[in-house]
Amino acid sequence: MSVGQGTAAERPTGLRARKKQRTRDDLMRVALQLFTTQGYEATTVDEIVEAVEVSQRTFFRYFASKEDVALAIVSLVEGQFVEQLRTRPPEEGPLCALRAAITEGWARIGETIEDIAPVELVMKAYQMIESTPALLSAHMRRGSETEEEIARIVAEREGLDIERDARPRAAVAAVCGVLRMAGRVWGGPGHETSVEALTALTETYLDALHPSLAGDWRTADGAAEAATCVPDTRPSASLAQDVTFT
Amino acid sequence: MSVGQGTAAERPTGLRARKKQRTRDDLMRVALQLFTTQGYEATTVDEIVEAVEVSQRTFFRYFASKEDVALAIVSLVEGQFVEQLRTRPPEEGPLCALRAAITEGWARIGETIEDIAPVELVMKAYQMIESTPALLSAHMRRGSETEEEIARIVAEREGLDIERDARPRAAVAAVCGVLRMAGRVWGGPGHETSVEALTALTETYLDALHPSLAGDWRTADGAAEAATCVPDTRPSASLAQDVTFT
DNA sequence: ACGCTAATGTCAGTAGCTGACAGTTGACAA
DNA sequence: TTGTCAACTGTCAGCTACTGACATTAGCGT
């Protein structure tokens, strides 16, 4: 079978391949719709396959688990991040490149998932993932795998041996940790569900990363930057970048 | 029933309470033994309850899931971390306190889990968690909950409003991200399974955090510290602390 | 048109987990 | 000591996610 997570992007040639692609996309779309309306746990696999008119066995040949179909959309988005990072100019500093890859990735979310579902539905899916323990669990584990991949890319960019220099992994872990935290806060109460709100929140926390690790929080030093670390009071991206990274 | 995760610590008074405690400890110990010898997936709940001589229904009254019994031991250890953090002197900087809480927590691991199992078995359990997808998933999600708790403690320590200042969450996210990364690397191939190896690795990556976020990796600045960021070449803890934190 | 093989469907079964209800056993007062 | 109550446990029936084995269908190249 070899579905290969390339859900969109390359257009398959033969009828067989196109059918496969369609079935997979259908399953994802229908699953997402059911999940976001009824809730993840309240939706059974049987309901999904009934709507798409395939057997349950077929479902499990496309997706390893029920979680898998919910997180497939995340894979697409994270894939976009990684691709963005890979194509950043090499003269950029590692943290700068990471930040740019993230913002670019979110900016292009529309194109990334256009074959599957509209952006609003995808953001609803993200909210659902954040608020569904089983999904959040699997999501985070997958994220940690991507993290390792990113660390390798960063190490290579800087010409460092990832096993001998701890900085690539440390930096990536810190950034990804902050990313997770931002997603968590966004998924919580009192926040807009829009992509813009999520990116804004992410940037706020990313901006706070460097100040938070430098100096005494109660006196000078970090204080100036700290003023810009208030969520919902979004500073100019370029300035923040100047302050935070080299 | 209200078993309440206080597995050890307070000694219950009545016979009933003691029996409950014993059953719970037995289930944990036997589960851990079976998991570490046969593997997590290869062990069924039926096997566990048969060995402890209780019904399956009883098992699920003590532990919400099969994952739960494997991660119960982790809860104990993480609880110790949080307690350590709570009792750090308030004049310590936040990152210093976090670091100290972690090292202290690992140093006291023996006492923390003495009622359940020997340290070696617990470390085996940690390795198993790192290498078992389902467990790692659940482990990480629980960790993110602890993270929020820690962030609140840190914010309070520094007298900051966690919703208005992003630094507490950012700093905690970064440190916890690095912790996870260290655990991940430790769980991978080519590392000792001892507590000492884990703490050493954790400190190495924690030491690399600040240098990794500051300056250009390819030139001066971080280079001096970078030399000390080589795993298995452990620098003096006190020095590292001086360099890294204020 | 025809054989090959990828893809799908059917069936039977396992494991994790839950609700309902009945039986047992500590706790505590009379 | 005894009896009552409440906590705890066991049994059973059932649901859902997931898997292996094998038969069936349907694109693909010749």
Classify the C-alpha dihedral A33-A34-A38-A40 as positive or negative: negative
Query: pLDDT confidence of B217, banded at 50, 70, 90?
Result: confident
| Cβ of B66 near strand C (distance < 7 A) | yes
Helix (H, G, I), strand (E, B) or coil at B182: helix
| pLDDT on residue A11 | 63
Reported as a single tens digit per residue, the pLDDT across A100-155 is 999 999 999 999 999 889 999 999 999 999 999 999 999 999 999 999 999 999 99
- pLDDT tens readout for residues B166-179: 999 999 999 999 99
pLDDT band per the 50, 70, 90 thresholds, residue A12: low
Give the nucleotide with minimal C1' distance to the Cα of B57.
D10
CA atoms of A185 and B180, how far apart (whole Å): 19
What local confidence, expressed as pLDDT, does residue B15 receive?
Answer: 80
Measure, in angstroms, how far nucleotide D2 C1' is from residue B48 CA.
39
pLDDT at A230 over 80: no
In a mutagenesis test of the A interface, which of B91, B95, B96, B137 is the best target, namely the one with the most A β-carbons within 10 Å? Answer: B137
Q: What is the pTM of this model?
A: 0.87
Alpha helices (H) along A158-236: 167-187, 195-213, 222-227
Going by C-alpha positions, the residue among A206, A143, A126 that lies closest to residue A174 is: A206
d(C-alpha B3, C-alpha B14), whole Å = 14
Strand D-proximal residues, CB under 7 Å?
A: A 14-17, 19, 43-46, 56-57, 60, 64-67; B 1-2, 16-17, 19-20, 23, 53-58, 61-62
**Cβ contact, residue pair B148, A209, below 8 Å:** no
How many angstroms separate the CA of residue B26 from the nearest CA in chain A? 27
Distance CA B211, CA B224 (A): 9
Strand D nucleotides within a 7 Å radius of protein CB atoms: 7-12, 16-21, 27-29
Q: What pLDDT does residue B127 have?
A: 97
Tens-digit pLDDT profile for residues B13-45: 788 999 999 999 999 999 999 999 999 999 999
Summarised one tens digit per residue, pLDDT across range B115-150 is 889 999 999 999 999 999 999 999 999 999 999 999
Spatial separation of the C-alpha atoms in residues A37 and A123, rounded to whole Å? 13
Whether the per-residue pLDDT at B226 is higher than 60: the answer is no
pLDDT of residue A27: 98
pLDDT tens profile A179-204: 999 999 999 999 999 999 999 999 99
* pLDDT tens digits, one per residue of A56-100: 999 999 999 999 999 999 999 999 999 999 999 999 999 999 999
Q: Which residues of A touch B138 (CB under 8 A)?
A: 137
DSSP 3-state assignment of A1?
Answer: coil
Residue showing tokens 């190896």 = B197
State the sign of the Cα–Cα–Cα–Cα dihedral A170, A172, A175, A177.
Answer: negative
Minimum distance, in Å, between the CA of residue B158 and any CA atom of chain A? 7
Task: State, as a whole number of angstroms, the distance between the CA of A14 and the C1' of D27.
Answer: 9
Q: What integer best gives the mean pLDDT of chain B?
A: 86
Q: pLDDT higher for A45 or A245?
A: A45
Cβ contact B65:B218 at 8 Å? no
- Give the tens place of pLDDT for each residue, B55-78: 999 999 999 999 999 999 999 999
Of all nucleotides in the shown strands, which has a C1' nearest the CA of A12?
D27
pLDDT for position A217: 82
A219: confidence class by pLDDT, cuts 50, 70, 90:
low
Give pLDDT, residue B167. 96
For residues B59 and A95, what is the distance between their CA atoms, to the nearest angstrom? Answer: 48
A208 and B95 within 8 Å at the Cβ level: the answer is no
**Cα–Cα nearest to A193, from A100, A138, A116, A131:** A131
Question: Using CA atoms, how far apart are residues A4 and A62, in angstroms rounded to an integer?
Answer: 9
Instruction: Put residue A79 in one of left, alpha, beta given phi > 0 → left and psi -120 to 50 → alpha.
Output: alpha
For residues A18 and B185, give the distance between their C-alpha atoms in angstroms, rounded to a whole number.
41
Give the residue on A whose Cα is nearest the Cα of B226: A165
pLDDT of B8 over the 50 cut: no
Q: How confident is the model at residue B4 (pLDDT cuts 50, 70, 90)?
A: very low
Scan for tokens 């004049």, then name that residue.
B91
Binned at pLDDT 50, 70 and 90, residue A10 comes out as: low
Which chain A residues contact residue B169 at CB under 8 A? 181, 185, 205, 208
How far apart, in whole angstroms, are the C-alpha atoms of residue A148 and residue A169? 7
CA A172/CA A155 separation, integer angstroms: 10
Residue B227 CA to residue A165 CA, distance in Å, equals: 8
CA A20 to C1' D26, in angstroms, rounded, equals 13
Rounded Cα distance between B235 and A50, Å, is 61
The predicted-structure confidence for A162-180, as pLDDT tens digits, reads as follows 999 999 999 999 999 999 9
- B171-192 mean pLDDT: 96
- Chain A residue with CA closest to B129: the answer is A141
Q: What pLDDT is stored for residue B13 in this prediction? A: 77
CB-CB contact of A69 with A51 (8 Å)? no
Residue A214 has pLDDT above 50, yes or no: yes
pLDDT at B33: 97
Q: Which residue of B has its CA nearest to A131?
A: B141
Q: Which of B135, B140, B210, B243 should be substituted to probe chain A, the one whose Cβ sees the most A Cβ atoms within 10 Å?
A: B140
How confident is the model at residue B7, as a pLDDT? 46
How far is the alpha carbon of B11 from chain A, nearest alpha carbon, in Å? 32
